Structure 1
Amino acid sequence: MQTLKYVCGSTGDEISFEGPIYGETMPSLRGRAWTYTLGARTLTGVAWQARELTLTVKAVDGETQLDRLRMLTDHDVLAHSRDSTISGLLRVDDVWECRALITKSEPQSITPRIIETQLTVTQLGMWRRSLPTVTYAPSDPDAYQYLDHPYDMDYDYGPPSAPPVIAVDGLDPMPFRMTIYGPCSNPTVTIGGNQYRITGDIPGGARVEVDAVEGEKSVTLVNAAGDRINWFANAHRGAGLDSGSYIFQPLPAGRAEVSWPGGYTFELTPVEERSEPPWSAS
Protein backbone atom coordinates (compact mmCIF):
# COMPACT_ATOMS: atom_id res chain seq x y z
CA MET A 1 0.00 0.00 0.00
CA GLN A 2 1.64 3.19 -1.21
CA THR A 3 -1.12 5.81 -1.46
CA LEU A 4 -4.49 6.38 0.16
CA LYS A 5 -7.35 8.72 -0.77
CA TYR A 6 -10.83 9.42 0.51
CA VAL A 7 -13.32 9.80 -2.34
CA CYS A 8 -16.61 11.57 -1.66
CA GLY A 9 -19.46 9.29 -2.71
CA SER A 10 -21.73 12.15 -3.74
CA THR A 11 -19.36 14.47 -5.60
CA GLY A 12 -16.34 12.35 -6.54
CA ASP A 13 -13.98 14.87 -4.90
CA GLU A 14 -10.80 13.35 -3.47
CA ILE A 15 -8.73 13.99 -0.35
CA SER A 16 -5.21 12.56 -0.43
CA PHE A 17 -3.45 11.40 2.72
CA GLU A 18 -0.06 12.00 1.11
CA GLY A 19 -0.02 15.72 1.99
CA PRO A 20 -0.73 18.26 3.33
CA ILE A 21 -2.72 15.69 5.38
CA TYR A 22 -0.42 12.74 6.09
CA GLY A 23 -1.63 9.30 7.11
CA GLU A 24 1.79 7.66 7.54
CA THR A 25 1.58 3.84 7.95
CA MET A 26 -2.06 3.60 9.14
CA PRO A 27 -1.65 0.11 10.67
CA SER A 28 -5.31 -0.36 11.61
CA LEU A 29 -6.28 -0.04 7.95
CA ARG A 30 -4.22 -3.14 7.13
CA GLY A 31 -6.06 -5.46 9.52
CA ARG A 32 -9.06 -7.71 8.98
CA ALA A 33 -11.78 -9.24 11.14
CA TRP A 34 -14.42 -11.89 10.39
CA THR A 35 -17.43 -12.41 12.63
CA TYR A 36 -18.43 -15.92 13.68
CA THR A 37 -19.93 -18.04 16.41
CA LEU A 38 -17.80 -20.61 18.20
CA GLY A 39 -19.14 -24.15 18.44
CA ALA A 40 -17.73 -27.24 20.10
CA ARG A 41 -15.24 -27.91 17.31
CA THR A 42 -16.27 -25.53 14.59
CA LEU A 43 -17.16 -22.00 13.53
CA THR A 44 -20.65 -21.07 12.35
CA GLY A 45 -22.21 -17.89 11.04
CA VAL A 46 -18.95 -16.78 9.39
CA ALA A 47 -19.47 -13.37 7.77
CA TRP A 48 -17.73 -10.12 7.00
CA GLN A 49 -19.40 -7.18 8.74
CA ALA A 50 -18.83 -3.45 8.90
CA ARG A 51 -16.22 -2.43 11.45
CA GLU A 52 -14.81 0.68 13.08
CA LEU A 53 -11.13 1.57 13.00
CA THR A 54 -9.06 4.61 13.90
CA LEU A 55 -6.55 6.45 11.74
CA THR A 56 -4.17 9.05 13.10
CA VAL A 57 -3.33 11.79 10.61
CA LYS A 58 -1.20 14.92 10.74
CA ALA A 59 -1.98 18.10 8.84
CA VAL A 60 1.07 20.26 8.09
CA ASP A 61 -0.20 23.74 7.26
CA GLY A 62 -3.30 21.83 6.16
CA GLU A 63 -6.17 23.67 7.84
CA THR A 64 -7.88 24.26 4.50
CA GLN A 65 -7.72 20.57 3.62
CA LEU A 66 -9.00 19.60 7.08
CA ASP A 67 -12.00 21.88 6.54
CA ARG A 68 -12.54 20.29 3.12
CA LEU A 69 -12.26 16.79 4.60
CA ARG A 70 -14.87 17.68 7.22
CA MET A 71 -17.23 19.08 4.57
CA LEU A 72 -17.01 16.04 2.28
CA THR A 73 -17.16 13.38 4.98
CA ASP A 74 -20.07 15.02 6.82
CA HIS A 75 -21.90 15.26 3.51
CA ASP A 76 -21.43 11.51 2.92
CA VAL A 77 -22.58 10.60 6.45
CA LEU A 78 -25.78 12.62 6.07
CA ALA A 79 -26.39 11.26 2.56
CA HIS A 80 -25.89 7.70 3.85
CA SER A 81 -28.46 8.31 6.59
CA ARG A 82 -31.02 9.02 3.86
CA ASP A 83 -29.88 6.38 1.37
CA SER A 84 -27.72 3.49 2.61
CA THR A 85 -26.36 2.82 -0.89
CA ILE A 86 -24.44 6.13 -0.73
CA SER A 87 -21.08 6.23 1.01
CA GLY A 88 -17.55 7.45 0.57
CA LEU A 89 -14.65 5.32 -0.64
CA LEU A 90 -11.17 4.62 0.63
CA ARG A 91 -8.96 4.11 -2.42
CA VAL A 92 -5.53 2.46 -2.19
CA ASP A 93 -2.95 2.88 -4.95
CA ASP A 94 -5.75 4.00 -7.32
CA VAL A 95 -6.72 0.31 -7.64
CA TRP A 96 -8.32 -1.10 -4.48
CA GLU A 97 -11.44 0.46 -2.96
CA CYS A 98 -13.75 -0.10 -0.01
CA ARG A 99 -16.93 1.69 1.00
CA ALA A 100 -16.36 3.77 4.12
CA LEU A 101 -17.56 6.73 6.16
CA ILE A 102 -15.50 8.99 8.42
CA THR A 103 -17.76 9.54 11.40
CA LYS A 104 -15.52 11.23 13.96
CA SER A 105 -12.44 13.44 14.25
CA GLU A 106 -10.75 13.94 17.63
CA PRO A 107 -7.79 16.38 17.66
CA GLN A 108 -4.83 15.05 19.65
CA SER A 109 -2.44 18.00 19.45
CA ILE A 110 -2.44 21.47 17.89
CA THR A 111 0.63 23.58 17.14
CA PRO A 112 1.11 26.61 14.86
CA ARG A 113 2.15 24.31 11.97
CA ILE A 114 0.95 20.77 12.75
CA ILE A 115 -2.47 19.48 13.75
CA GLU A 116 -2.72 15.83 14.75
CA THR A 117 -6.18 14.27 14.82
CA GLN A 118 -7.61 10.79 15.16
CA LEU A 119 -10.24 9.81 12.62
CA THR A 120 -12.86 7.14 13.25
CA VAL A 121 -13.58 5.27 10.03
CA THR A 122 -16.49 2.91 9.56
CA GLN A 123 -15.48 0.38 6.91
CA LEU A 124 -18.71 -0.75 5.24
CA GLY A 125 -17.43 -3.27 2.71
CA MET A 126 -14.55 -5.50 1.70
CA TRP A 127 -11.67 -4.23 -0.40
CA ARG A 128 -12.38 -4.62 -4.11
CA ARG A 129 -10.80 -4.05 -7.48
CA SER A 130 -12.22 -4.50 -10.97
CA LEU A 131 -10.35 -6.98 -13.15
CA PRO A 132 -10.05 -6.57 -16.95
CA THR A 133 -13.37 -6.52 -18.80
CA VAL A 134 -14.02 -9.36 -21.26
CA THR A 135 -16.22 -8.68 -24.30
CA TYR A 136 -18.36 -11.44 -25.81
CA ALA A 137 -19.63 -10.62 -29.30
CA PRO A 138 -21.54 -12.58 -31.96
CA SER A 139 -19.47 -14.53 -34.47
CA ASP A 140 -18.26 -12.54 -37.45
CA PRO A 141 -20.21 -13.74 -40.51
CA ASP A 142 -17.40 -12.51 -42.79
CA ALA A 143 -15.22 -15.30 -41.39
CA TYR A 144 -17.28 -17.77 -43.44
CA GLN A 145 -17.70 -15.94 -46.74
CA TYR A 146 -14.75 -17.62 -48.48
CA LEU A 147 -15.54 -21.15 -47.32
CA ASP A 148 -18.24 -21.98 -49.90
CA HIS A 149 -17.69 -24.74 -52.46
CA PRO A 150 -19.25 -25.21 -55.92
CA TYR A 151 -20.82 -28.46 -54.69
CA ASP A 152 -22.68 -29.50 -51.55
CA MET A 153 -21.17 -31.48 -48.73
CA ASP A 154 -22.83 -33.48 -45.96
CA TYR A 155 -21.31 -31.11 -43.41
CA ASP A 156 -20.32 -27.44 -43.18
CA TYR A 157 -16.83 -26.01 -43.15
CA GLY A 158 -15.90 -23.20 -40.80
CA PRO A 159 -12.99 -21.77 -38.88
CA PRO A 160 -12.05 -23.80 -35.80
CA SER A 161 -13.45 -22.39 -32.60
CA ALA A 162 -13.55 -23.18 -28.91
CA PRO A 163 -16.39 -22.28 -26.56
CA PRO A 164 -15.78 -18.91 -24.90
CA VAL A 165 -14.73 -19.03 -21.27
CA ILE A 166 -14.28 -16.75 -18.30
CA ALA A 167 -11.18 -17.33 -16.17
CA VAL A 168 -11.34 -16.36 -12.50
CA ASP A 169 -7.98 -16.50 -10.74
CA GLY A 170 -7.90 -17.31 -7.07
CA LEU A 171 -9.59 -19.84 -4.81
CA ASP A 172 -13.04 -18.31 -4.34
CA PRO A 173 -15.95 -17.21 -6.56
CA MET A 174 -16.07 -13.52 -7.50
CA PRO A 175 -18.89 -11.03 -7.93
CA PHE A 176 -19.08 -9.25 -11.26
CA ARG A 177 -20.52 -6.45 -13.32
CA MET A 178 -22.21 -7.29 -16.63
CA THR A 179 -23.40 -5.02 -19.45
CA ILE A 180 -25.75 -6.34 -22.15
CA TYR A 181 -26.12 -4.22 -25.29
CA GLY A 182 -29.28 -3.98 -27.39
CA PRO A 183 -31.04 -4.62 -29.57
CA CYS A 184 -32.11 -7.93 -28.06
CA SER A 185 -35.08 -9.54 -26.32
CA ASN A 186 -35.07 -11.63 -23.15
CA PRO A 187 -31.27 -12.07 -23.09
CA THR A 188 -29.86 -15.12 -21.31
CA VAL A 189 -26.20 -15.79 -20.54
CA THR A 190 -25.10 -19.15 -19.11
CA ILE A 191 -21.87 -19.33 -17.10
CA GLY A 192 -20.74 -22.46 -15.30
CA GLY A 193 -24.24 -23.92 -15.14
CA ASN A 194 -26.01 -20.76 -13.92
CA GLN A 195 -28.39 -18.82 -16.17
CA TYR A 196 -28.32 -15.03 -15.96
CA ARG A 197 -31.71 -14.13 -17.44
CA ILE A 198 -33.48 -10.84 -18.04
CA THR A 199 -37.04 -10.48 -19.33
CA GLY A 200 -37.73 -7.55 -21.64
CA ASP A 201 -36.74 -5.81 -24.84
CA ILE A 202 -33.47 -3.87 -24.89
CA PRO A 203 -33.68 -1.42 -27.83
CA GLY A 204 -30.77 -0.53 -30.08
CA GLY A 205 -28.55 2.08 -28.45
CA ALA A 206 -29.66 0.94 -24.98
CA ARG A 207 -27.99 -1.38 -22.50
CA VAL A 208 -28.68 -3.22 -19.26
CA GLU A 209 -26.14 -3.02 -16.43
CA VAL A 210 -26.07 -5.80 -13.83
CA ASP A 211 -24.06 -5.11 -10.66
CA ALA A 212 -23.65 -8.24 -8.53
CA VAL A 213 -21.35 -6.71 -5.89
CA GLU A 214 -22.66 -7.11 -2.34
CA GLY A 215 -24.18 -3.88 -1.10
CA GLU A 216 -24.51 -2.57 -4.66
CA LYS A 217 -26.74 -5.20 -6.29
CA SER A 218 -28.80 -3.64 -9.05
CA VAL A 219 -30.16 -4.16 -12.57
CA THR A 220 -30.51 -0.96 -14.59
CA LEU A 221 -31.69 -0.20 -18.11
CA VAL A 222 -29.83 2.75 -19.64
CA ASN A 223 -31.73 4.01 -22.68
CA ALA A 224 -30.30 5.77 -25.72
CA ALA A 225 -30.88 9.16 -24.06
CA GLY A 226 -28.85 8.11 -21.00
CA ASP A 227 -31.84 7.81 -18.65
CA ARG A 228 -31.39 5.12 -15.99
CA ILE A 229 -34.41 2.92 -15.24
CA ASN A 230 -34.61 0.35 -12.44
CA TRP A 231 -35.00 -3.11 -14.03
CA PHE A 232 -34.49 -5.16 -10.89
CA ALA A 233 -37.92 -6.79 -11.34
CA ASN A 234 -36.96 -7.89 -14.88
CA ALA A 235 -34.06 -10.04 -13.63
CA HIS A 236 -34.56 -13.70 -12.72
CA ARG A 237 -33.44 -14.52 -9.20
CA GLY A 238 -34.68 -18.11 -9.01
CA ALA A 239 -34.46 -19.47 -5.47
CA GLY A 240 -31.34 -17.42 -4.74
CA LEU A 241 -27.71 -18.44 -4.52
CA ASP A 242 -26.79 -21.72 -6.27
CA SER A 243 -30.35 -22.21 -7.58
CA GLY A 244 -29.16 -22.28 -11.21
CA SER A 245 -30.95 -19.12 -12.36
CA TYR A 246 -29.75 -16.39 -10.00
CA ILE A 247 -28.88 -13.11 -11.70
CA PHE A 248 -26.30 -12.26 -9.01
CA GLN A 249 -24.62 -15.70 -8.83
CA PRO A 250 -20.85 -15.14 -8.32
CA LEU A 251 -18.53 -16.30 -11.08
CA PRO A 252 -17.03 -19.69 -10.21
CA ALA A 253 -13.32 -19.92 -9.46
CA GLY A 254 -11.21 -21.30 -12.29
CA ARG A 255 -12.35 -21.54 -15.91
CA ALA A 256 -16.03 -21.72 -16.81
CA GLU A 257 -17.67 -21.98 -20.22
CA VAL A 258 -19.81 -19.05 -21.35
CA SER A 259 -22.74 -19.49 -23.73
CA TRP A 260 -25.55 -17.29 -25.01
CA PRO A 261 -27.92 -17.39 -28.02
CA GLY A 262 -25.82 -14.86 -29.92
CA GLY A 263 -27.10 -11.87 -31.82
CA TYR A 264 -26.02 -9.39 -29.15
CA THR A 265 -22.87 -8.30 -27.35
CA PHE A 266 -22.23 -8.30 -23.62
CA GLU A 267 -19.30 -7.45 -21.35
CA LEU A 268 -18.24 -9.13 -18.13
CA THR A 269 -16.01 -7.60 -15.44
CA PRO A 270 -14.99 -9.85 -12.52
CA VAL A 271 -14.55 -7.98 -9.21
CA GLU A 272 -11.86 -9.29 -6.86
CA GLU A 273 -12.55 -9.02 -3.13
CA ARG A 274 -10.29 -9.33 -0.12
CA SER A 275 -10.55 -8.66 3.59
CA GLU A 276 -7.53 -6.34 3.78
CA PRO A 277 -5.60 -4.25 1.24
CA PRO A 278 -2.55 -5.93 -0.35
CA TRP A 279 0.82 -5.82 1.38
CA SER A 280 2.64 -6.20 -1.92
CA ALA A 281 2.02 -4.47 -5.23
CA SER A 282 -0.59 -6.43 -7.17
Structure 2
Amino acid sequence: MRTDIAYVNRLGERVEFGGSEESLHYMEHELRDWEWSWRTGVAGRVTGFSRRPSKPREISFPVGIAAETASEGIGLRNRVELIGDVDVSAGEPGWLYVGDWYIRCWIVGCEPTDYWMDDRFAELELTLLAEQSGWVREVLSAFVPETGETEASGTDFPLDFPFEFARGRTSTTVYNSGTSPQDLLLRVYGPASDPEVSIGGNVYRVNVDVPAGYRLEVDSMAKTVRLIAPDGTWTDAYGSREPGAEGSGTYIFERIAPGASTVAWGNDFAFDLVRYDVRMACPWEEG
Protein backbone atom coordinates (compact mmCIF):
# COMPACT_ATOMS: atom_id res chain seq x y z
CA MET A 1 0.00 0.00 0.00
CA ARG A 2 1.28 3.47 -0.86
CA THR A 3 1.92 5.55 2.24
CA ASP A 4 3.54 8.67 0.79
CA ILE A 5 1.86 12.00 1.56
CA ALA A 6 3.12 15.36 0.30
CA TYR A 7 2.13 19.03 0.30
CA VAL A 8 2.97 21.15 -2.76
CA ASN A 9 2.53 24.92 -2.70
CA ARG A 10 1.79 27.28 -5.58
CA LEU A 11 5.52 27.80 -6.20
CA GLY A 12 6.05 24.06 -6.71
CA GLU A 13 7.87 23.65 -3.38
CA ARG A 14 7.22 20.23 -1.89
CA VAL A 15 7.34 18.66 1.57
CA GLU A 16 6.97 14.88 1.73
CA PHE A 17 5.82 12.91 4.75
CA GLY A 18 6.33 9.18 5.19
CA GLY A 19 8.15 8.71 1.89
CA SER A 20 11.74 9.47 0.88
CA GLU A 21 12.08 12.03 3.68
CA GLU A 22 13.01 9.62 6.49
CA SER A 23 13.15 12.34 9.16
CA LEU A 24 9.56 13.52 8.53
CA HIS A 25 6.60 11.32 9.38
CA TYR A 26 2.86 11.55 9.97
CA MET A 27 0.62 10.12 12.66
CA GLU A 28 -3.04 9.12 12.79
CA HIS A 29 -4.94 11.69 10.72
CA GLU A 30 -8.32 12.57 9.21
CA LEU A 31 -7.38 12.59 5.52
CA ARG A 32 -9.24 9.36 4.75
CA ASP A 33 -12.38 10.37 6.66
CA TRP A 34 -15.24 11.25 4.31
CA GLU A 35 -18.96 11.94 4.13
CA TRP A 36 -21.38 13.26 1.52
CA SER A 37 -23.26 16.51 2.04
CA TRP A 38 -26.99 16.25 1.47
CA ARG A 39 -30.01 18.43 0.82
CA THR A 40 -33.49 18.04 2.25
CA GLY A 41 -36.85 19.21 0.99
CA VAL A 42 -40.44 18.96 2.12
CA ALA A 43 -40.94 17.02 5.36
CA GLY A 44 -37.19 16.67 5.71
CA ARG A 45 -36.85 14.13 2.91
CA VAL A 46 -33.42 13.85 1.26
CA THR A 47 -33.47 15.41 -2.21
CA GLY A 48 -29.84 15.13 -3.29
CA PHE A 49 -26.19 14.72 -2.43
CA SER A 50 -23.11 16.81 -3.08
CA ARG A 51 -19.32 16.59 -2.69
CA ARG A 52 -19.20 20.27 -1.76
CA PRO A 53 -19.66 20.77 2.01
CA SER A 54 -21.94 23.49 3.35
CA LYS A 55 -18.85 25.28 4.68
CA PRO A 56 -15.04 24.83 4.46
CA ARG A 57 -13.85 21.76 6.38
CA GLU A 58 -10.93 21.65 8.80
CA ILE A 59 -8.77 18.49 8.70
CA SER A 60 -6.31 17.45 11.40
CA PHE A 61 -2.95 16.23 10.09
CA PRO A 62 -0.34 15.57 12.82
CA VAL A 63 3.27 15.13 11.68
CA GLY A 64 6.42 14.16 13.51
CA ILE A 65 10.09 15.10 13.11
CA ALA A 66 12.86 12.66 14.06
CA ALA A 67 16.05 14.19 12.66
CA GLU A 68 19.61 12.96 13.00
CA THR A 69 20.98 16.37 14.03
CA ALA A 70 19.67 19.43 15.85
CA SER A 71 20.27 21.57 12.75
CA GLU A 72 18.19 19.26 10.57
CA GLY A 73 15.40 19.15 13.16
CA ILE A 74 15.16 22.95 13.37
CA GLY A 75 15.27 23.23 9.58
CA LEU A 76 12.42 20.75 9.15
CA ARG A 77 10.25 22.59 11.68
CA ASN A 78 10.63 25.84 9.74
CA ARG A 79 10.14 24.10 6.40
CA VAL A 80 6.87 22.47 7.46
CA GLU A 81 5.49 25.61 9.11
CA LEU A 82 6.36 27.92 6.19
CA ILE A 83 5.48 25.73 3.18
CA GLY A 84 1.86 26.92 3.02
CA ASP A 85 2.36 30.64 3.69
CA VAL A 86 2.54 31.60 0.00
CA ASP A 87 -0.81 29.89 -0.65
CA VAL A 88 -2.53 31.70 2.22
CA SER A 89 -1.03 35.02 1.08
CA ALA A 90 -2.26 34.46 -2.48
CA GLY A 91 -5.68 33.19 -1.40
CA GLU A 92 -5.20 30.08 -3.55
CA PRO A 93 -4.98 26.58 -2.02
CA GLY A 94 -2.04 24.23 -2.41
CA TRP A 95 -2.12 20.50 -3.17
CA LEU A 96 -2.10 17.78 -0.51
CA TYR A 97 -1.23 14.46 -2.19
CA VAL A 98 -1.89 10.95 -0.91
CA GLY A 99 -0.20 8.81 -3.55
CA ASP A 100 -1.43 10.04 -6.93
CA TRP A 101 -4.60 11.67 -5.54
CA TYR A 102 -4.89 15.18 -4.10
CA ILE A 103 -7.18 17.68 -2.43
CA ARG A 104 -6.79 21.46 -2.69
CA CYS A 105 -6.31 23.01 0.75
CA TRP A 106 -4.53 25.60 2.85
CA ILE A 107 -2.37 25.01 5.92
CA VAL A 108 -4.09 27.37 8.36
CA GLY A 109 -2.80 26.22 11.75
CA CYS A 110 -0.03 24.41 13.61
CA GLU A 111 0.10 23.28 17.23
CA PRO A 112 3.65 22.20 18.20
CA THR A 113 4.05 19.65 20.99
CA ASP A 114 7.10 17.94 22.55
CA TYR A 115 9.38 20.37 20.74
CA TRP A 116 11.41 21.62 23.73
CA MET A 117 12.96 18.33 24.84
CA ASP A 118 15.41 17.91 21.95
CA ASP A 119 15.93 19.99 18.79
CA ARG A 120 16.02 16.77 16.76
CA PHE A 121 12.45 15.81 17.66
CA ALA A 122 9.06 17.52 17.50
CA GLU A 123 5.39 16.88 16.83
CA LEU A 124 3.41 19.41 14.82
CA GLU A 125 -0.36 19.10 14.53
CA LEU A 126 -1.24 20.84 11.27
CA THR A 127 -4.74 22.10 10.49
CA LEU A 128 -5.75 21.94 6.82
CA LEU A 129 -8.67 23.90 5.40
CA ALA A 130 -10.47 22.44 2.38
CA GLU A 131 -13.33 24.21 0.60
CA GLN A 132 -14.39 21.15 -1.38
CA SER A 133 -14.53 17.46 -0.56
CA GLY A 134 -13.42 14.86 -3.06
CA TRP A 135 -10.03 13.51 -4.08
CA VAL A 136 -8.72 14.28 -7.55
CA ARG A 137 -6.44 12.44 -9.96
CA GLU A 138 -5.40 14.13 -13.18
CA VAL A 139 -5.56 12.11 -16.42
CA LEU A 140 -3.43 13.78 -19.10
CA SER A 141 -3.84 13.54 -22.88
CA ALA A 142 -1.33 15.53 -24.97
CA PHE A 143 -2.08 16.72 -28.51
CA VAL A 144 0.41 18.09 -31.05
CA PRO A 145 -0.08 19.23 -34.66
CA GLU A 146 0.32 16.42 -37.20
CA THR A 147 2.13 17.08 -40.47
CA GLY A 148 2.63 15.11 -43.67
CA GLU A 149 5.84 13.72 -42.14
CA THR A 150 4.12 12.41 -38.98
CA GLU A 151 1.01 11.08 -40.73
CA ALA A 152 1.72 8.01 -42.86
CA SER A 153 -1.74 7.59 -44.42
CA GLY A 154 -2.94 9.51 -47.48
CA THR A 155 -2.09 9.86 -51.15
CA ASP A 156 1.46 9.01 -52.26
CA PHE A 157 2.30 11.38 -55.13
CA PRO A 158 4.95 10.23 -57.69
CA LEU A 159 6.58 13.71 -57.76
CA ASP A 160 8.06 15.83 -54.97
CA PHE A 161 6.38 19.14 -54.20
CA PRO A 162 8.14 22.25 -52.76
CA PHE A 163 5.81 22.21 -49.73
CA GLU A 164 4.40 19.73 -47.22
CA PHE A 165 0.83 18.49 -47.19
CA ALA A 166 -0.25 19.19 -43.57
CA ARG A 167 -3.39 17.73 -42.13
CA GLY A 168 -6.26 20.09 -41.43
CA ARG A 169 -8.67 19.46 -38.58
CA THR A 170 -7.81 16.26 -36.73
CA SER A 171 -9.68 14.32 -34.07
CA THR A 172 -9.43 11.56 -31.50
CA THR A 173 -11.55 10.11 -28.71
CA VAL A 174 -11.34 10.28 -24.92
CA TYR A 175 -13.41 8.15 -22.58
CA ASN A 176 -14.98 9.13 -19.25
CA SER A 177 -15.46 5.82 -17.45
CA GLY A 178 -17.37 7.41 -14.56
CA THR A 179 -21.09 7.85 -14.12
CA SER A 180 -21.06 11.66 -13.83
CA PRO A 181 -19.67 14.53 -15.96
CA GLN A 182 -15.94 15.14 -15.62
CA ASP A 183 -14.24 18.50 -15.04
CA LEU A 184 -11.33 19.40 -17.30
CA LEU A 185 -8.31 21.63 -17.77
CA LEU A 186 -7.40 22.76 -21.30
CA ARG A 187 -3.78 23.95 -21.56
CA VAL A 188 -3.01 25.55 -24.95
CA TYR A 189 0.65 26.24 -25.79
CA GLY A 190 1.61 29.24 -27.88
CA PRO A 191 1.93 30.32 -30.53
CA ALA A 192 -1.81 30.13 -31.13
CA SER A 193 -4.39 32.62 -32.33
CA ASP A 194 -7.99 32.43 -31.06
CA PRO A 195 -7.53 28.75 -30.09
CA GLU A 196 -10.56 26.49 -30.37
CA VAL A 197 -11.06 22.87 -29.27
CA SER A 198 -14.22 20.78 -29.62
CA ILE A 199 -14.90 18.05 -27.05
CA GLY A 200 -18.05 15.97 -27.24
CA GLY A 201 -19.62 18.56 -29.52
CA ASN A 202 -18.96 21.51 -27.20
CA VAL A 203 -16.62 24.21 -28.54
CA TYR A 204 -14.09 25.75 -26.14
CA ARG A 205 -12.83 28.96 -27.77
CA VAL A 206 -10.95 31.94 -26.36
CA ASN A 207 -10.41 34.95 -28.63
CA VAL A 208 -6.85 35.84 -27.63
CA ASP A 209 -3.36 35.57 -29.09
CA VAL A 210 -1.13 33.14 -27.18
CA PRO A 211 2.50 34.11 -27.92
CA ALA A 212 5.30 31.53 -28.09
CA GLY A 213 6.35 30.57 -24.58
CA TYR A 214 2.95 31.47 -23.14
CA ARG A 215 0.07 29.14 -22.39
CA LEU A 216 -3.70 29.55 -22.09
CA GLU A 217 -5.48 27.56 -19.37
CA VAL A 218 -9.22 26.92 -19.15
CA ASP A 219 -10.12 25.18 -15.88
CA SER A 220 -13.74 24.11 -15.46
CA MET A 221 -13.23 23.10 -11.83
CA ALA A 222 -11.70 26.42 -10.73
CA LYS A 223 -13.87 28.36 -13.22
CA THR A 224 -10.87 30.30 -14.54
CA VAL A 225 -9.53 31.32 -17.97
CA ARG A 226 -5.95 32.56 -17.74
CA LEU A 227 -3.16 33.59 -20.10
CA ILE A 228 0.08 32.61 -18.33
CA ALA A 229 3.49 34.11 -19.12
CA PRO A 230 6.76 32.14 -19.06
CA ASP A 231 7.58 33.59 -15.62
CA GLY A 232 4.28 32.30 -14.18
CA THR A 233 2.46 35.64 -14.00
CA TRP A 234 -1.01 35.58 -15.51
CA THR A 235 -3.80 37.78 -16.82
CA ASP A 236 -7.50 37.02 -16.66
CA ALA A 237 -8.84 36.03 -20.12
CA TYR A 238 -12.36 35.10 -19.02
CA GLY A 239 -13.81 38.10 -20.83
CA SER A 240 -12.33 36.86 -24.13
CA ARG A 241 -14.13 33.50 -24.04
CA GLU A 242 -16.66 32.58 -26.70
CA PRO A 243 -20.02 33.33 -25.03
CA GLY A 244 -22.44 30.53 -24.26
CA ALA A 245 -24.43 29.10 -21.37
CA GLU A 246 -24.14 25.57 -20.02
CA GLY A 247 -25.43 23.10 -22.59
CA SER A 248 -25.39 25.67 -25.43
CA GLY A 249 -22.50 24.03 -27.30
CA THR A 250 -20.06 26.89 -26.62
CA TYR A 251 -19.92 26.90 -22.80
CA ILE A 252 -16.30 27.45 -21.78
CA PHE A 253 -16.65 25.34 -18.60
CA GLU A 254 -18.70 22.47 -20.06
CA ARG A 255 -17.79 19.19 -18.37
CA ILE A 256 -17.12 15.95 -20.26
CA ALA A 257 -20.10 13.59 -20.33
CA PRO A 258 -19.75 9.92 -19.32
CA GLY A 259 -18.72 7.62 -22.16
CA ALA A 260 -16.80 8.41 -25.35
CA SER A 261 -16.26 12.01 -26.52
CA THR A 262 -14.62 13.12 -29.76
CA VAL A 263 -11.83 15.71 -29.42
CA ALA A 264 -11.22 17.84 -32.54
CA TRP A 265 -9.17 20.95 -33.28
CA GLY A 266 -7.63 22.83 -36.19
CA ASN A 267 -4.27 21.01 -36.00
CA ASP A 268 -2.49 24.35 -35.70
CA PHE A 269 -1.32 24.38 -32.06
CA ALA A 270 -0.33 22.00 -29.27
CA PHE A 271 -2.48 21.50 -26.18
CA ASP A 272 -3.04 19.27 -23.18
CA LEU A 273 -6.40 17.95 -22.07
CA VAL A 274 -6.36 17.15 -18.35
CA ARG A 275 -9.43 15.31 -17.10
CA TYR A 276 -10.18 15.41 -13.37
CA ASP A 277 -11.09 11.99 -11.99
CA VAL A 278 -12.84 12.72 -8.66
CA ARG A 279 -13.62 10.28 -5.84
CA MET A 280 -15.30 11.02 -2.54
CA ALA A 281 -12.98 8.69 -0.61
CA CYS A 282 -9.24 8.71 -1.25
CA PRO A 283 -8.56 5.47 -3.18
CA TRP A 284 -6.16 2.93 -1.70
CA GLU A 285 -3.16 2.28 -3.96
CA GLU A 286 -0.64 -0.54 -4.04
CA GLY A 287 2.89 0.36 -3.02
Smaller-chain TM-score range?
Answer: 0.7 to 0.9
**Equivalent in the alignment of 1:29:** 31
Q: TM-score, normalised by structure 1?
A: 0.76
Q: Deviations over 1:22-64 (max 9, x none)?
A: 10343x1012233222234333473413311112222224343
Per the alignment, do residues 100 and 257 of structure 1 end up closer, same or farther by CA in structure 2, a change over 3 Å counting? same
Offset of 1:213 from its aligned partner? 4.3
Match of 2:272 among 226, 250, 267: 267
1:56 aligned to 2:73? no
1:42 aligned to 2:53? no
1:97 aligned to 2:97? no
1:132 match: secondary structure: strand
* Preserved CA contact (<8 Å) 1:138 1:265: no
Whole-Å separation in 1 of the counterparts to 2:189 and 2:174: 19
1:119 aligned to 2:119? no
1:66 match: secondary structure: helix
Structure 1, gaps ≥5 residues long: 151-161
Aligned residues: 261
Per the alignment, do residues 226 and 76 of structure 1 end up closer, same or farther by CA in structure 2, a change over 3 Å counting? closer
What does 1:1-282 align with in structure 2 at a 5 Å threshold? 1-9=2-10, 11-18=11-18, 19-26=22-29, 28-39=30-41, 40-44=44-48, 46-49=50-53, 50-61=56-67, 62-77=73-88, 79=89, 83-84=90-91, 86-93=92-99, 95-110=100-115, 112-113=117-118, 114-125=121-132, 126-135=134-143, 137-138=145-146, 140=148, 143=152, 146-148=155-157, 164-181=172-189, 184-202=192-210, 205=212, 208-215=215-222, 217-220=224-227, 222=229, 228-239=234-245, 241-281=246-286
2:83 match: secondary structure: helix
Identity in percent: 24
* Preserved CA contact (<8 Å) 1:212 1:249: no
Q: TM-score, normalised by structure 2?
A: 0.74
Offset of 1:253 from its aligned partner? 2.0
Offset of 1:247 from its aligned partner? 1.2
Whole-Å separation in 2 of the counterparts to 1:221 and 1:69: 29
Structure 2, gaps ≥5 residues long: 68-72, 160-169
**Equivalent in the alignment of 2:163:** none
* Preserved CA contact (<8 Å) 2:217 2:228: no
